[in-house]
Amino acid sequence: MKNYHWLISTQVPDTAFHTSSMAPEAFRYALPKHLYDDHGVRRYGFHGTSYAYVTKQLAAALGKPVSAVNAIVCHLGSGASMCAVEHGRSIDTTMGLTPLEGLVMGTRAGDVDAGVLAYLSERGYSTSDLDALLNKESGLKGLSGGLASDMRAITKLAEQGDSDAALARSVFVERCRKYIGAYAVKLKGRVDAIVFCGGIGERDADCRRRICADLEGLLGCEIDDTKNQFAVDGESVVDVSTQFASTKVYVVPTDEELEIASQTASVADLIQVEKPRVVEEPIVEPSKDSAKPIGNVLFVDGGGATAPAELGLMFAAMTAHEKVGFFRPVHHGFIDRKLALFREVFDLDDVPVEAMCAAASLTRRLHAIDATPARWRGGATLSLLDLTGSLVNLHAGTA
C-alpha cells in the first residue's frame, strides 16, 4: 500500500481581516480617484491574523459568539496598530497602504503631516532618505534622540530621569488614547472590551494603565490595578478590569502562527470551522406559588450613590412586574458606574430616550417626574412609573 504525502501551499494575507469587511469610507484616501482605480492606493491594514485570533479568544472569554463581539483591539509592539471590531469583523484599523500609518512604533513615525515630506524634500532629502527617516529613524527611537527603539529600554531610561525617553513613552500612550476615542465613536459607544496584545500590550502593565486612564465616563472602563499589575506573563487571557466595569479590559496573548495554521487547516478541510450560532435562553416557567405580574414599571433615577435600598427596591419590583426598566439621565451619552452596575446586576436592555419619551406621551404623567431631584444626605430620589397609568414617588434613603 502506497503512502501519499500531501504538500498544501496556502497564502494567509495579513490584510484580509480588514479588506474583507472595511467600508469604502474607512479604506479610501481623499486622493484623486484614479490613484485608487489604477494603482490600488487605499488603506489595507496589517496584523490581520493577530486580530482574527484575538477576536476569537475574546469571544470565548466573554461567552459570546464571535459575531456578537464589539471591541477595540490594541496590538502594541515594535510594530503597533489598533483595530475597531464590530460584530467580530474589522471596520477600521490604524495602518494604511503600508504599516507606516497610525500609532507611534519602535522606529516608525505613524501619523505625520504629509506636508513634512514636501518640506524636507525641498531641503535636500531624497525619496530613499525620507523612507529611511519615517520607517527606521522615527517613532520611539526618533523621539528619544536615537537612544532606543524598544519600549523596555525607553521605560528604563525614563525611570532614570531621561526627559526625551519619558516624552517618547507619553506620545506613544496619547496616540493610542486618541484612537480609542475615535473607535469608540465608530462603535457607537457599544464596546464589550478594550483588548491588549503584542509585546507591549501583553507585558507592560503601566502602559495599559495609562492608556485606559480616565475612561470611566466615556466607556465605563476601569482597570483593577492589582489584576493589571500581575497580568504580564504573556501567556494567559486575563480580565484586568474592575468587577462592574461596563467595558472590560482584557489582556489576550496573540498567536499569529496558530491562526495561520488554523486558517490553512480549515481551507484544506482538515478541521471543521464551527459557524457562530445564536444561543437561545431557555424559557423558565414561573412557579405556581409566584404572584401574578401586575404590569410594567420604569425607574427614573436622578442621581446619588448606589444605595442598598435602591437595589432592594429593584429586586422587589422584578418579582411583581413583567418588565422592569431603569433610566438614569447621563450627559453626553456617558455611562456612569451606577448605570453600569444596574445593567450588569439586572441584565437590563438598553432603551432609547426617545422610547421613554414616547411612553411618557402615552401616560401623560411623566411630566410629574423630577429627573433631577434634590438630594439629601445618604440617599437619592427614585420615581417609579407604572406604565399602566399610576405614578408613585418613592424615596430610597439610608441613615
Question: Residue 174's domain is classified under what CATH number?
Answer: 3.30.420.40
**What's the number of domains the chain is made of?**
2
Whether residues 212 and 338 fall in one domain: no
From 14, 92, 204, 239, the catalytic residue: 14
Range of the domain at 138: 16-264
- Whole-structure pTM value: 0.68
Angle between helices 151-159 and 163-186 (to 10 degrees): 120
Query: Who wins on pLDDT, 63 or 375?
Result: 63
Name the 3-class secondary structure at 45: coil
Percent share of the chain, pLDDT over 70: 62
Ranked by mean pLDDT, the top range of 63-77, 283-297, 355-369 is 63-77
Q: What pLDDT, on the 0 to 100 scale, is given for residue 144?
A: 98
Is 284 inside any structural domain? no
Q: What pLDDT, on the 0 to 100 scale, is given for residue 39?
A: 96
Angle between helices 308-320 and 337-346 (to 10 degrees): 40
| Cβ-based burial of 268 (10 A; exposed 0-12, middle 13-18, buried ≥19) | exposed
Which residue, of 211, 244, 264, is where some domain finishes?
A: 264
Is the C-alpha dihedral spanning 22, 333, 356, 244 positive or negative?
Answer: positive
Alpha helices in the chain (DSSP H): 16-19, 24-27, 33-39, 48-62, 115-121, 127-136, 139-143, 151-159, 163-186, 198-203, 205-211, 216-219, 225-230, 256-267, 308-320, 337-346, 353-363
Is 79 inside any structural domain? yes
Residue 259 binned pLDDT confidence (cut-offs 50, 70, 90): confident
Residue 256 binned pLDDT confidence (cut-offs 50, 70, 90): confident
Whether residues 234 and 93 fall in one domain: yes
Is 133 inside any structural domain? yes
What's the alpha-carbon Rg for the chain, to the nearest Å?
26
Whether residues 123 and 234 fall in one domain: yes
| Nearest Cα residue to 193 out of 249, 252, 251, 236 | 249
**Mean pLDDT value of segment 378-390:** 35
- Give the C-alpha separation, 263 to 272, whole Å: 11
Whether residues 206 and 103 fall in one domain: yes
Whether residues 58 and 205 fall in one domain: yes
Is 217 inside any structural domain? yes
Is 3 inside any structural domain? no
* CB crowding 244-254: b at 16 or more within 10 Å, else e: bbbbbbbbbbb
Residue 159 binned pLDDT confidence (cut-offs 50, 70, 90): very high
State the cell numbers at 83: 483595530
Angle between helices 256-267 and 48-62 (to 10 degrees): 90
Laid out side by side, the sheet with 296-301 consists of 323-327, 296-301, 379-386, 391-397
- Give the C-alpha separation, 344 to 192, whole Å: 12
Q: DSSP secondary structure string, 209-226?
A: HHHTTT-HHHHSB-B-HH
Whether residues 159 and 250 fall in one domain: yes
Percent share of the chain, pLDDT over 90: 58
* Cα dihedral: 81, 75, 51, 218 (round 10): -80
- Give the C-alpha separation, 69 to 85, whole Å: 7
**Mean pLDDT value of segment 316-327:** 62
Phi, psi dihedral angles at 241 (to 5 degrees):
-95, 165
> Residue 375: is its pLDDT beyond 90?
no
274-313 pLDDT, tens digit per residue, is 444 444 445 556 555 555 555 566 665 655 544 455 666 6
Q: What pLDDT, on the 0 to 100 scale, is given for residue 46?
A: 95
2-40 pLDDT, tens digit per residue, is 554 444 445 557 899 999 999 999 999 999 999 999 999
Q: How many CA atoms lie within 13 A of 258 on its CB side?
A: 10
Query: Who wins on pLDDT, 318 or 76?
Result: 76
Query: Is 38 noted as a catalytic residue in this protein?
Result: no
Is 35 inside any structural domain? yes
Whether residues 208 and 97 fall in one domain: yes
- Give the C-alpha separation, 245 to 136, whole Å: 39
Whether residues 59 and 177 fall in one domain: yes
Mean pLDDT of the chain: 78
Whether residues 185 and 311 fall in one domain: no
**Mean pLDDT value of segment 250-270:** 74
Is 320 inside any structural domain? yes
- Give the C-alpha separation, 384 to 250, whole Å: 37
Whether residues 73 and 128 fall in one domain: yes
Whether residues 255 and 302 fall in one domain: no
Q: In this predicted structure, which of 1-5, 38-42, 180-184, 251-255 has the lowest mean pLDDT? A: 1-5
Is 272 inside any structural domain? no
Q: CA-CA distances (angstroms) from residue 282 to 279, 285, 349, 351, 382?
A: 9, 10, 18, 23, 32
Whether residues 250 and 302 fall in one domain: no
